[in-house]
């Protein structure tokens, strides 16, 4: 039975960074993964361009029972540290928006850099972890290709989203075996199904603002055959939706005042023509319905107000919101409860030598590089602590 100082379960972003940190500290490391290649999510992230960090990463952009948990790991390995890592590997970067960094050389270049750094780790691919036992200070990791033993285990199995890339719940089973609680999981960073909009709008994208409780998100929304998606909706689903969400499809326009002004200055204009000045024509037709050809001069102010409300104040109750499945979600909400994990070392408070990193924990980041930054940071802290 081969023995290591550290066995890491999962060869994703968190697992690889943990392995790199531990091996640089002189530890012998094996990284075990059920797939045939490492860093599969990294390779497809950002549409293949790898949105690898965001300088706005702080507690406000993370979600879970205790978002404050991210403070320690992000302080130990910040977005600035990740940018320095990219620079040291001569990776060219580009910003899509302020602070949102992509790899101009593509995600494959990031994977190559990771694998170069992890060269001292034994990569054990196409191998499923079945169970873990601990006797004294030694862990025995039972795999589909035999047993391995070590002094420390880092669970970096990720969440159970994106099943086409290969996912497993073994990390959660290990956590439960050693006494950890699991926060119930649901899809996040995903589209939602709702009948608040018509399927005929499918394919149209427009800038919106979405109010969730006291927070307002501004980004693009995409109409789909079953509801809505796009960045604005993805960002909405990672947050806690406790009641309704309120969508403003013309966030820079007070539509009622806009229509009243047209009524005063150009009353012959049709309501459909007026709405088409601020929204795509198909959306205008859907909003106005059989009144599209009606002249604004012939409409009462109350009618104009009702149309404006259908644009500036679309209320979608919680009962009319259904998350898409985990298969299509980018991340999950929920996972190993952080209450029994040290934010300074990522070590279990219930079992010495057992560590957790990345999405397997009850931490989910906003859209835009925040989840990869969490993976790098938590993996670095876990690997460095051993």
pLDDT at 34: 95
| Three-state secondary structure call for residue 330 | coil
Q: Give the angle subtended at the CA of 21 by the CAs of 78 and 75, to the nearest 5°.
A: 20
Q: Which CATH number characterizes residue 14's domain?
A: 3.50.50.60
Task: Tell whether 240 and 342 lie within a shared domain.
Answer: no
Task: Tell whether 309 and 377 lie within a shared domain.
Answer: no
Task: Tell whether 288 and 336 lie within a shared domain.
Answer: no
pLDDT at 237: 98
Task: Tell whether 107 and 154 lie within a shared domain.
Answer: yes
Tens of pLDDT, residue by residue over 206-230, are: 999 999 999 999 999 999 999 999 9
Which residue, of 293, 308, 323, is where some domain finishes? 323
pLDDT at 218: 97
Which residue, of 275, 292, 323, is where some domain finishes? 323
Task: Tell whether 174 and 316 lie within a shared domain.
Answer: no
In contact, 150 and 31? CB cutoff 8 Å: no
Task: Tell whether 343 and 310 lie within a shared domain.
Answer: no
pLDDT at 168: 80
Task: Tell whether 264 and 352 lie within a shared domain.
Answer: no
Tokens 């499923």: give the residue. Answer: 128
Task: Tell whether 280 and 195 lie within a shared domain.
Answer: yes
pLDDT at 167: 66
Task: Tell whether 19 and 152 lie within a shared domain.
Answer: yes
* Domain that residue 26 falls in: 2-186+328-385
HSE (CB half, 13 Å, CA atoms) of 42? 29
CA distances, 172 to each of 13, 32, 175, 255, 320 (Å) = 18, 16, 5, 49, 30
Q: Which CATH number characterizes residue 264's domain?
A: 1.10.8.260
Residues of the chain with pLDDT under 50: none
Task: Tell whether 169 and 208 lie within a shared domain.
Answer: no
Which residue, of 323, 353, 371, is where some domain finishes? 323
Task: Tell whether 175 and 33 lie within a shared domain.
Answer: yes
Q: What is the pTM of this model?
A: 0.94
Q: How many domains does the structure of the chain reveal?
A: 2
Task: Tell whether 164 and 213 lie within a shared domain.
Answer: no
């Amino acid at each position: 039975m081969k023995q290591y100082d550290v066995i890491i379960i999962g060869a994703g972003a968190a697992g690889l960074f943990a392995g790199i940190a531990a091996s640089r500290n002189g530890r012998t490391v094996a990284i075990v993964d059920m797939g045939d290649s490492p860093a599969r999510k990294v390779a497809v992230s950002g549409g293949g361009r790898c949105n690898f960090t965001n300088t706005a990463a702080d507690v406000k952009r993370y979600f879970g029972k205790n978002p404050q948990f991210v403070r320690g790991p992000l302080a130990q390995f910040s977005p600035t540290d990740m940018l320095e890592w990219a620079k040291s590997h001569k990776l060219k970067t580009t910003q899509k928006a302020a602070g949102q960094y992509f790899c101009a050389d593509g995600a494959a270049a990031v994977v190559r850099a990771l694998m170069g750094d992890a060269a001292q780790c034994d990569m054990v691919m196409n191998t499923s972890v079945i169970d873990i036992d601990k006797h004294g200070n030694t862990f025995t990791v039972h795999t589909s290709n035999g047993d391995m033993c070590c002094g420390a285990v880092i669970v970096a199995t990720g969440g159970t989203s994106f099943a086409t890339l290969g996912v497993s719940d073994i990390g959660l089973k290990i956590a439960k075996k050693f006494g950890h609680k699991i926060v119930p999981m649901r899809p996040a960073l995903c589209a939602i199904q709702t009948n608040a909009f018509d399927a005929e709008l499918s394919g149209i994208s427009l800038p919106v603002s979405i109010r969730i409780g006291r927070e307002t998100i501004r980004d693009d929304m995409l109409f789909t055959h079953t509801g809505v998606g796009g960045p604005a909706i993805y960002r909405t689903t990672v947050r806690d939706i406790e009641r309704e969400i309120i969508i403003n499809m013309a966030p820079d326009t007070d539509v009622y005042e806009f229509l009243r002004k047209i009524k005063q200055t150009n009353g012959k204009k049709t309501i459909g023509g007026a709405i088409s000045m601020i929204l795509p024509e198909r959306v205008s037709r859907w909003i106005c319905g059989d009144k599209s050809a009606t002249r604004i001069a012939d409409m009462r102010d109350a009618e104009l107000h009702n149309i404006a409300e259908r644009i500036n104040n679309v209320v979608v109750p919680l009962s009319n919101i259904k998350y898409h499945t985990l298969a299509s979600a980018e991340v999950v909400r929920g996972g190993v409860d952080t209450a029994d994990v040290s934010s300074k070392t990522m070590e279990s408070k219930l079992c010495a030598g057992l560590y957790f990193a990345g999405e397997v924990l009850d931490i989910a980041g906003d859209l835009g590089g925040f989840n990869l930054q969490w993976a790098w940071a938590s993996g670095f802290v876990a690997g460095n602590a051993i």
